Amino acid sequence: MRGRLGDDRLGDDTGAMCGTTRRPRLMIVSSIGISQILVWGSSYYLPAVLAQPISADTGWPFQWVIGSLSLGLLVSGLVSPLVGRLIERRGGRPVLAASAVLLAAGSLVTGLAPNLPVFVVGWVVIGLAMGAGLYDPAFSALGRIYGEQARGAITQVTLFGGFASTVCWPLSAALVAHAGWRGACLAYAAIALLIVLPLYLFGLPSEAVRQPPEPDGGRAAGRVRPDQRLAFLLLAAGLTLASMIMTVIAVQLLALLQARGLTLAAAVGLGALIGPSQVGARVLEAALGRGRHPIWSLVASAALVAIGLGALAAGVGAIALGLILYGAGSGVRSIAQGTVPLALFGRDGYAVLMGRLALPKLIAQAASPSIGAWLLHGFGPDATIAIVCGAAVVNVGLAVALVPIALRRAEAD
């Protein structure tokens, strides 16, 4: 049945089933996975460590330094549909390789920026790199290679990606301590060119170019049929809402915990529970999810996030449990966002569809830091957690509404 069963054998040597150059599955997954650690760490996770040193050194407003990430996310969302079409036609190798070059260029510009406008331009370029190189394009590349059998590879890549902050936050801090924030940016530019780019060029297969369909030659790649429109809307709404929730929490978590009376050290210690919970949940999903429709992973993810945030709202005594459950739900969501669209809509046009789903999600992520700050300062920490928890409950409803649609699709296949 399409999208339900996948070959999870990391060492399977059937790589590049639709390509012109074969690569072992281990090489493909490892190349993308290692690159994801470095790409996430040098883009999305970078301001968490560098923003304060940049502002202190240059005098640029802290809000503008942090806001550059939001601008980058907005740009990444806007280019996602184009990225999806390019991967669908040409395969993931050239697009992901281009993302490494863009990341190097953006990091170079930010590291050498003489003023704030040039720094912002650098983040526009990094936004292009994120749009072409984070999870959604990586999943699209795996879907192009493995089709309906991509579920195991997607899960394995997220296991690598779960270590991005664990690896790159200490690396960024060490680079800042020894070379300054500019040296850190230049180091990441070198990493993108000398490590990420070769991993993509030599680790991924070259694939045959697919010609675009004729104007009257049937359904265009990635076009949702009328009978699939409800499923697409529910999925897009759920993924977008989940992205907003998780971005608000990621940006405001320490402030929310400190507002509950915790010290900064205690807040950081509790926040550190999220990363291992994400990775642990992904390991469990890889072990227990085989043979089950990925829609159940999406439902479990939404439920765990809602329960975790409910525990967070309950009081200080439940914070640790809440963050563990929240982290588990967040970890499983990263897998479900790649596997559920493949199961619902199939491999044809998968990369294009992923680009369309990424557009509202990344735009929402770009707006979420400002929304979170407005909620926190306008309504206070308790109301903020309650509102975010309410949004998580709504997201559970969206995931549950997809279940009968997904199961009917599986039975039809």
Give residue 413's pLDDT band: very low, low, confident or very high (50, 70, 90): low
Kindly give, in sequence order, each residue whose CB lies less than 8 Å from that of residue 374, ignoring residues fewer than 6 positions away: none
Which pTM value belongs to this model? 0.81
pLDDT of residue 222: 56
pLDDT of residue 116: 96
Please determine, looking at this structure, whether the domain spanning 25-203 carries the CATH number 3.10.105.10: no
Domain chopping of the chain, boundaries: 25-203, 226-412
What is the DSSP secondary-structure string of 292-320? S-THHHHHHHHHHHHHHHHHHHH-GGGHH
Overall CATH class of domain 226-412: mainly alpha
Give residue 20's pLDDT band: very low, low, confident or very high (50, 70, 90): very low
pLDDT of residue 18: 43
Q: What is the pLDDT of residues 359-412, one digit of tens each?
A: 898 888 888 887 887 888 888 888 889 999 999 999 999 999 999 998 888 777
| Residue 381 near residue 260, CB atoms below 8 Å | yes
pLDDT over 80 (residue 197):
yes
Distance from C-alpha of 128 to C-alpha of 151, rounded to nearest angstrom: 26
Q: Residue 207's beta-bridge partner residues?
A: 19
**Three-class secondary structure of residue 251 per DSSP:** helix
Q: What is the pLDDT of residues 222-245, one digit of tens each?
A: 567 777 889 999 999 999 999 999
For the chain, what's the residue count?
A: 413
Q: What is the pLDDT of residues 47-94, one digit of tens each?
A: 878 888 999 999 998 888 888 888 998 999 899 999 999 998 888 899
Q: Residue 19's beta-bridge partner residues?
A: 207
Give residue 221's pLDDT band: very low, low, confident or very high (50, 70, 90): low
Of these ranges, 8-17, 43-52, 250-259, the one predicted with the greatest mean pLDDT is 43-52
pLDDT over 80 (residue 167):
yes
- End-to-end, the C-alpha distance of the chain in Å comes to 5
Phi, psi of 395 (to 5 degrees): -65, -35
Tokens coding 339 = 């596997």
User: What is the rounded radius of gyration, in angstroms, for the C-alpha atoms of the chain?
Assistant: 20
Q: Indicate if 226-412 has the same CATH topology as 25-203.
A: yes
Kindly give, in sequence order, each residue whose CB lies less than 8 Å from that of residue 179, ignoring residues fewer than 6 positions away: 186, 187
Say which amino acid occupies 325. L
Tokens coding 360 = 């509202």
pLDDT of residue 2: 40
With pLDDT > 70 as the criterion, what percentage of the chain qualifies?
Answer: 91
